[in-house]
Structure 1
Amino acid sequence: MRDFSMPDVRRAPERDVSITAVDTAVIRGNFDWNLVRVHTDAGVSGLGEAYRGGGVDEIVGYLADVLVGENPLDVERLFRHMVQETSGHGGTTGKVVTAASGVEFALWDLAGKLLGLPTYQLLGGKYRDEVRLYVDLHAGESYAVAHGATDYADDAAYQAEAYVERATEALDLGYDAMKFDLDAPADNDPEPTNGRLTPTHVAAKEEVVAGVVDAVDGRAEVAFDCHWDYDLGSGRRLAKALEPYPIMWLEDVLPPENMDAQRELARSTSTPLATGENRFRVHEFTQLLDDYAVDVVTPDPATVGGLAEAKAIANRAEERYLAFAPHNVCSPVGTAAMVHLCAAVPNASYLEYHALDVDWWTDLLDRDDPFIEDGRIAVSEAPGHGVELDESVARDHAVAHTDGFFEGADA
């Protein structure tokens, strides 16, 4: 088996640093956010975040045994080390890669702090001073998420008027890019499992799109998400119906496993298509990109393998003149890391923001100036990701943590 462990590799004394511990905390917001902190013998720690959901903190705990004693500056080698050491039990995909992604985020933050450089500089340099967000919206109280399950509202929440109201609210807050969920509970009537849309379903979705596009009236770009719900025939009919509307993209129309079906959908419509959040590592994007089965590629860096892996995907997309718009449901910790990624990628177009209704979201950061202004996040010039936790707010919302996660205080 390949061996990526190199704790004794030579380097200058000032960069001879070792990882001493890796700790986690689960913070409950609109999702369960999995935060990661990597400690060193230099007295400096790095902060990261893995994709939401259960079990990730336990996997990070397992990975800690792989990392202690290693030099945190070897970020990409250590990611490969984590993948290799877990390859016998799912290390090339799924939640193991997700957990390693959170550690990787923290390693970049730590490396930046140790070297006195912002993360974007370590990733190759800056293409922009601020990153444009698209805000993920829901019509009214359209659904709530508990441990990843969807709880739909009544039919009134899915009428075009509810979407228009939310779009107008987002405009008033300064957002000029937004995304709505286009799937609805009515899609399951009369048959909940076959993924087929009736003509009535398609017409209702077209009415929503028409209403939102008319309401924003060129003041914002709008995308729509289907959450990989439909069969190929339904996807084709829906995409065809939306061709007259100038939307940013139609996202995740089909289940993610079959790239041939995704390619056929792309061949059948001029409506821009987006997908990618359910894929792991750069290898799973090869056919998607080679077949031009997507117009906008949307990996989630906190899932796919971290910032370097997401950048590799963005680079391959750029070679094919395709846009890159990372999926993101993180707290501001993971979001800040992704801002640096988007700053370092030429074809980055938007970064998702998925916490408009979490009124304490930015309170999780220890900072005085606003984190988001007019739908943008400025690229920090501070070392690492440029953010620090407000430990008190994090503690108030923590549902689990290891003893060493909260710095300067007993667990």
Structure 2
Amino acid sequence: MQIRDVRFIALRQPLQQPLRLAWGAMHHRNFGLVLVETDAGISGVGETSVNFPSWAIVERKATIEEGLKPLLVGEDPLNVAGLWQKMLHAFSRLGVLWGKGAVMSAIGGVDIALWDIAGKAHGKPIYALLGGSQPARAPLYATGLDPAQLADSARRFVDQGYRAVKVRIGFDEARDIANVEAVRRAVGDAVEVLVDANMAYDLDRAKRMAEALQPYRPYWLEEPLLASDLEGYRTLKEHTDIPLAAGENQFDVADATALLDTNAIRYLMPDPTRAGGLSEAQRICALARARGYPYSPHHYGSDVGFAAALHLISAVTGADYMLRDVSPAPLRESVLREPITVVDGCALTPTGPGLGIELNWEVVLAHQVRL
């Protein structure tokens, strides 16, 4: 069996209301799918993270179709480890020129698709190929609450069975504190409240906000500082009892190792669609487990990548809550012909061959962006 083609499929859905995060507003949602086709009639699908910037879909198409595709056509798709190394060797120096995150995200989308092919070829779910014995029932935290009705939105998802919700901060300090207080009051003490600053703060502001948030008992404070500010994380840990979480913007084992070496964070958050796919994300999660840290897979994209993260959880023990985007972006789920099962705030890993999912091509083609 040989790889015949590698394609990037950009999807876009306009948002009725802009989605505001600490690092900018999203007026539409981008999703980036990767399709790897073989001469045996087996195709694999993966996902690469293209949330920010808005033009990431243009870069990613070129990187995958002009950069990675020539390396892969004619190769054996079942040689997943060898092809991962080939892509990394060819692109590691190039990443210095335009960004390690872009490079590893591109490799990640292809890698997930290759694992999908391998699972289909062997008739096994990916988690079994990665060493897992059974599908996971992964507890989720709801993120993307309605900012106009934050407390009511949080309560609504708790009523649906979620035992954890996340509040985005990094805007106005007084409003952020009031929002966390309102959500804590709405969900009560039995539900976990997570807080995400999206790298909005310098160290002084992070210290100030951590102190102000302490009374509301956050389960974690996520990315209060730039991902690269390792010394800042080390210092912040000495000034707060709130557990720190980070890792979605650490793109390989080396990045994750440097972050863990600070002894500052409690929860590591690898994203398979950013950190080199399932191959590298599995190694990152194994690193966390070996050092005694729980990991919490990050994924802010379509349910293709969500399925990949569920296979990761099923393969590597030590997972904590997993992100579930609940913001109004129905394309996220409708790209699949059959939705992933979410019951009582938990997601079930698909058990079919490969990722165990099937694209809804009618929906995909209707939302495809021609680049």
Whether the TM-score (by the shorter chain) exceeds 0.5 is yes
Q: Distance in 2 between matches of 1:262 and 1:356?
A: 29
Q: Distance in 1 between matches of 2:331 and 2:35?
A: 21
Q: 2:361 aligns with which of 391, 397, 405?
A: 391
Tell me what 2:61 maps to. Answer: 57
Which moves more between the two structures, 119-128 or 272-281?
A: 119-128
When residues 298 and 129 of structure 1 are mapped into structure 2, their CA distance, relative to the original with a 3 A threshold, is: closer
Amino acid at match of 1:57: K
**What are the superposed Cα offsets for residues 72-94 of structure 1, whole Å, 9 maximum, x if unpaired?**
11212211101111234217822
Tell me what 1:153 maps to. Answer: none
Q: 1:132 aligns with which of 136, 139, 156?
A: 139
SS in 2 for 1:20: strand
Q: Distance in 1 between matches of 2:291 and 2:177?
A: 30
Matched, 1:67 2:75: no
SS in 2 for 1:340: helix
Which moves more between the two structures, 372-381 or 287-296?
A: 372-381
Over alpha carbons, which structure has the higher Rg?
1
Deviation at 1:287, TM superposition (A): 2.0
Deviation at 1:47, TM superposition (A): 0.7
When residues 262 and 106 of structure 1 are mapped into structure 2, their CA distance, relative to the original with a 3 A threshold, is: same
Q: 2:346 aligns with which of 354, 376, 385?
A: 376
Q: 1:232 aligns with which of 203, 223, 233?
A: 203
Matches within 5 A, 1:5-84: 17-29=1-13, 30-52=28-50, 53-54=56-57, 55-61=59-65, 62-84=67-89
- Which runs of 5 or more structure 1 residues have no equivalent in the other structure? 1-16, 141-156, 187-200, 402-411
Deviation at 1:376, TM superposition (A): 2.0
Amino acid at match of 1:41: D
Matched, 1:99 2:106: yes
Tell whether the 8 Å contact from 2:167 to 2:180 is kept in structure 1 after alignment: no
- Which runs of 5 or more structure 2 residues have no equivalent in the other structure? 14-27, 51-55
Amino acid at match of 1:175: Y
Tell me what 2:130 maps to. Answer: 123
Deviation at 1:206, TM superposition (A): 3.0
Deviation at 1:292, TM superposition (A): 1.3
Amino acid at match of 1:179: K
Q: 1:303 aligns with which of 267, 271, 274?
A: 274
When residues 127 and 294 of structure 1 are mapped into structure 2, their CA distance, relative to the original with a 3 A threshold, is: farther
Tell me what 1:346 maps to. Answer: 317
Tell me what 1:242 maps to. Answer: 213
Which moves more between the two structures, 342-351 or 58-67?
A: 342-351
Q: Distance in 1 between matches of 2:30 and 2:305?
A: 13
* Percent identical: 36
Tell whether the 8 Å contact from 1:93 to 1:281 is kept in structure 2 after alignment: no
Matched, 1:293 2:264: yes
Amino acid at match of 1:122: L
When residues 355 and 37 of structure 1 are mapped into structure 2, their CA distance, relative to the original with a 3 A threshold, is: farther
Q: 2:250 aligns with which of 279, 294, 306?
A: 279
Q: Distance in 1 between matches of 2:140 and 2:361?
A: 26
Q: Distance in 1 between matches of 2:114 and 2:195?
A: 34
State the number of aligned residues.
348
Q: Normalised by the size of structure 2, how large is the TM-score?
A: 0.89
Tell whether the 8 Å contact from 2:136 to 2:310 is kept in structure 1 after alignment: no
Q: 2:94 aligns with which of 89, 95, 100?
A: 89
SS in 2 for 1:395: helix
Tell whether the 8 Å contact from 2:135 to 2:311 is kept in structure 1 after alignment: no
Deviation at 1:318, TM superposition (A): 1.4
Tell whether the 8 Å contact from 2:10 to 2:33 is kept in structure 1 after alignment: yes
Q: Normalised by the size of structure 1, how large is the TM-score?
A: 0.80
SS in 2 for 1:386: coil
Q: Distance in 2 between matches of 1:213 and 1:272?
A: 17
Deviation at 1:46, TM superposition (A): 0.5
Deviation at 1:291, TM superposition (A): 2.2
Tell whether the 8 Å contact from 2:128 to 2:134 is kept in structure 1 after alignment: no
Amino acid at match of 1:27: L
Q: 1:114 aligns with which of 94, 97, 121?
A: 121
**What are the superposed Cα offsets for residues 222-279 of structure 1, whole Å, 9 maximum, x if unpaired?**
2111111111111112112222333221111111212111111112211011111112
